[in-house]
Amino acid sequence: MSQLSHTEVVIGDRPLTPGEVVAVARHGARVRVSAEALARVDRTRSLIERLADDPHPHYGISTGFGALATTFIAPERRRQLQASLIRSHAAGTGAEVEEEVIRALQLLRLQTLATGRTGVRSHVVEVYAGMLNAEITPIVREYGSLGCSGDLAPLAHVALAAMGEGEVRVGGGEVTSARDALAAASLTPLVLEEKEGLALINGTDGMLGMLLLAAHDLEMLLDTADIAAALSIESQLGTDAVFAADLMALRPHPGQRDSASHLRALLAGSDIVASHRDPGACTRVQDAYSLRCSPQVHGAARDTLAHAQTVAARELAAAIDNPVVTPDGRVESNGNFHGAPIAFVLDFLAIAVADVASISERRTDRALDVARNQGLPPFLASEPGVDSGFMIAQYAAAGIVSELKRLAAPASVDSIPSSAMQEDHVSMGWAAARKLRRAVDGLARVLAIEVMVGVRAQQLRAPLRPAPATGAVAGLVRDASGGPGPDRFLSPEIEAVTDLVATGAVARAAASALSSAPLKEDS
């Protein structure tokens, strides 16, 4: 994690932005809870303390939880109740969840605590902020959340660490005890009071954090998909005429419009494209769908992403707990912890990712097929027969695309009952988020292979010159993977170009070459 010590995100005055979540989760930006938020938290806590003294039971304050909600808990046992809740719910299993996901989860739960709608003490808020700033990342396991009553197990692992129990990593280092890590950061372990254990685990923070990280990455990867398509269209002697603005206006989807505009800009000034614009020099009437329909597919994915970002923005403005303390002082049970809104768009994005990768792989395959690649050698090999060129790189892309199709099967339709049938319908949003993360990684790899193949095909069109934007990408890729020649160990080159794609270097190279021209047209 790169520490951005100069960056500080203020919690409690307004909803966090997606960029702020990424800054804290991925880049180590520090957080500060505003004085107004802490005062609001203290005001709400005074109400909880009054209800704790009420002889009538109040859920989560003086009762058990879930199917045990009717069990009254005596005052002297309530600290044990809260601690037992966290210990029993920290039941995750499997591989460790990635640090950036856990930090996003910590941050988003902190934001909800700072709203004053959960009833925790300000000390709890300050400990959560302190853990983030000290880069204390609790060990969270992959399996355990059903995405209803929130991400219970993942959030419980974070709460357990705040209590000084369980294991953590500090600054991405070796596993250490939570108690030692808190002591080193001068943080006092939490001793939870009434309502606080429940408030720490009743949220959609894990699935929302993964949605925000995926959306951030996909915004860049969809620009990269356009770049990969431009390389393929150019090097396979396709036409840019089909991307004309007036043709796009006949079907006014904003994503399609933006993708077509991007493609036109990327291909502008290409000698390769210009070389076959003369009808007498080109007898093909239409390009294949994978070339001609790139803005339709990429644009649909852009529109899907825009919908997901709208849902994420609404969720960032939410205060999710059960029961929740309303602004007028009521403590009310509710179902806002149900992850369906997030789970649906996580699944929707996985579908879009699979299809963008699918059309990318088809463009790659065309470039390698001597019967369809407009005069290039088989598999772009230096000496076909002796050399295999990119033959097996296409196998890798095809294998990933097949997996992405499996990952596109929705998790959110697969409810399973729990908690003695009290929680009889769940969202599976955490599972939807986990598979989307894998899908985003797969998309980056498929696009990287198309970029490599497109660059090689472009090089084989010399002495015709590419467009400035695709030429800039070719220069970047050539530095990482070399140029045409006999077969060589290909895996390291694929990994190097995948890193260029995943880090946004490919997208930045193309954008820089466009001389700061906007990628999107006004509607």
Q: Report the pLDDT value the prediction gives residue 67, as an integer from 0 to 100.
A: 59
Residue 2 lies in a domain: no
Residue 34 lies in a domain: yes
Cβ proximity of 94 and 141 under 8 Å: yes
Q: Which of 142, 169, 203 is the last residue before a domain boundary?
A: 203
Q: Which of 179, 203, 227 is the last residue before a domain boundary?
A: 203
Q: Report the pLDDT value the prediction gives residue 282, as an integer from 0 to 100.
A: 57
Q: Report the pLDDT value the prediction gives residue 68, as an integer from 0 to 100.
A: 65
Cβ proximity of 481 and 500 under 8 Å: no
Rounded distance, CA 151 to CA 92, Å? 11
Task: Assess whether 476 and 403 both reside in one domain.
Answer: yes
Residue 73 lies in a domain: yes
CATH code at position 469: 1.20.200.10
Task: Assess whether 74 and 128 both reside in one domain.
Answer: yes
CATH code at position 133: 1.10.275.10
Task: Assess whether 404 and 492 both reside in one domain.
Answer: yes
Task: Assess whether 105 and 139 both reside in one domain.
Answer: yes
Residue 519 lies in a domain: no
H/E stretch holding 204 reads none
| Alpha carbon 381 to its chain's center | 36
Provide the number of structural domains found in the chain: 2
Task: Assess whether 319 and 180 both reside in one domain.
Answer: no
Task: Assess whether 365 and 504 both reside in one domain.
Answer: yes
Cβ proximity of 214 and 349 under 8 Å: yes
Of 350, 359, 344, nearest in space to 407 by CA:
350
Task: Assess whether 191 and 243 both reside in one domain.
Answer: no
Q: Report the pLDDT value the prediction gives residue 428, as an integer from 0 to 100.
A: 87
Residues 6 or more apart in contact with residue 115 via CB below 8 angstroms: 12, 37, 40, 319
Give CA torsion, residues 255, 258, 264, 267, to 10 deg.
-80
Rounded distance, CA 261 to CA 461, Å? 25
Residue 518 lies in a domain: no
Residue 523 lies in a domain: no
Task: Assess whether 488 and 400 both reside in one domain.
Answer: yes
Residue 355 lies in a domain: yes
Q: Report the pLDDT value the prediction gives residue 283, as an integer from 0 to 100.
A: 55
Q: 380 φ, ψ to 5°?
A: 55, 30
| Alpha carbon 469 to its chain's center | 27
Rounded distance, CA 2 to CA 27, Å? 5
Write out residues in the chain with pLDDT < 70, as ranges. 1-6, 64-70, 278-285, 419-422, 516-523
Give the domain extent around 295.
Answer: 211-414+426-513
**First-last CA distance in the chain:** 38
Task: Assess whether 288 and 406 both reside in one domain.
Answer: yes
Task: Assess whether 186 and 243 both reside in one domain.
Answer: no
Rounded distance, CA 361 to CA 217, Å? 20
Residue 521 lies in a domain: no
Task: Assess whether 185 and 236 both reside in one domain.
Answer: no
**Which residues belong to the active site?**
59
H/E stretch holding 199 reads helix 196-201
Rounded distance, CA 431 to CA 428, Å? 5
Task: Assess whether 312 and 455 both reside in one domain.
Answer: yes
Question: What separation in angstroms does the CA of 336 have from each of 59, 105, 315, 333?
Answer: 16, 17, 10, 9
Q: Report the pLDDT value the prediction gives residue 126, as an integer from 0 to 100.
A: 98
CA R_g for the chain: 26
Structure tokens given for 61 = 């304050």
Q: Which amino acid is at 445?
A: R
Structure tokens given for 27 = 């880049």
Q: Report the pLDDT value the prediction gives residue 4, as an integer from 0 to 100.
A: 45
Global pTM reads 0.94
Structure tokens given for 391 = 């033959």
Rounded distance, CA 388 to CA 46, Å? 73
Ramachandran area for residue 434 (φ above 0: left; ψ -120 to 50: alpha; else beta): alpha
Q: Which of 143, 170, 203 is the last residue before a domain boundary?
A: 203
